[in-house]
Amino acid sequence: MTKVALVTGAGRGIGAATAIQLASEGYSVCINYLSDKRSASSIVSKIERSGGIALAVQADVSEENEVEGLFSMIDTRLGPINLLINNAGILFSQTDIEGMTAERINSTLKTNVTGYFLCCREAVKRMSHKHGGSGGVIVNVSSAASRIGSAHEYIDYAASKGAVDSLTIGLAMEVADQGIRVNGVRPGLIYTEMHGSGGEPNRVDRLKSNLPLKRGGKPEDVAEAISWLSSIKSSYTTGSFIEVSGGR
């Protein structure tokens, strides 16, 4: 049976590494992206050069109609989805709470929380036994920020990831008897372009000495954890998290 995966926000960083990893394991992968078509297309090309199957689809996961269109495209082009990796996320420049506007907070929550809910909803409608599905797996990319809080940097982002943790736990219980497992990973200081969005591209190098492992992580480190949670090797694991955070 063909295995089909959707990785949101897969044009770069953790999402791109995860898409490449899953393709190497035999998944046909939908690479969702928001605006950087060139980057997403390059990941598709890399997968295809290795003999895999990939499809890039633009969609803003914070918009309900675009999420519905994304899943319809997967239905048509790749077939029934087996695996959802919720990874798309945003953060804004580092600031104390005094510098946060309602617009910023709502934008963060809309993408990082509402987007995850919408993608989970569409995946469950296709995977669950009660809808004729054969089951599946959902992995939510959270963050160590949900535990640490990211004070003086972006507590709105940290709070959004706390919501992702609650979603993961609750949904895991809700759909366990429908053949669907739901787990999460909590990356810490990973070398990705997202730190640039927060205004400090070299943030990992500034903070890595505080970690027990004394180094930053790579997107591939997170992809390996996601791969395990996606596989039959973790068949008795649901509602759980893997910390990929260098020991902190």
Question: Which helix (H) or strand (E) segment is 115 a member of?
Answer: helix 115-127
pLDDT, tens only, 117-154: 999 999 999 999 999 999 999 999 999 999 999 999 99
Average pLDDT of the residues of the chain: 96
pLDDT tens, residue by residue, 188-210: 999 987 766 667 788 898 989 99
In the chain, where the domains are located: 3-244
Choose the catalytic residue: 33, 157, 191, 236.
Answer: 157
What digits encode the pLDDT tens for the residues 89-110? 999 999 999 999 999 999 999 9
Are 53 and 47 contacting, i.e. CB atoms less than 8 angstroms apart? yes
Q: Against a cut of 0.85, is the pTM above it?
A: yes
- Which DSSP category does 190 fall into? B
Look at residue 114 and tell me whether its pLDDT is greater than 70. yes
pLDDT tens, residue by residue, 16-32:
999 999 999 999 999 99
Token digits of residue 161: 């990831």
- pLDDT over 90 percentage in the chain: 92
CATH number listed for the domain at residues 3-244:
3.40.50.720
Closest by CA position to 222, among listed 196, 203, 197, 244: 244
Can you give the pLDDT at residue 163? 98
Residue type for 21, please? Q
The pLDDT of residue 200? 79
Is 33 an annotated catalytic residue? Answer: no
Which value, to the nearest 10 degrees, does the dihedral of the CA atoms of residues 148, 151, 156, 158 take?
Answer: -10
Lay out the sheet containing 3-7: strands in order across. Answer: 53-58, 27-33, 3-7, 83-86, 136-141, 180-187, 241-244
| pLDDT for the residue numbered 1 | 67
pLDDT at 179 over 80: yes
For 52-65, write each residue's pLDDT tens digit.
999 999 999 999 99
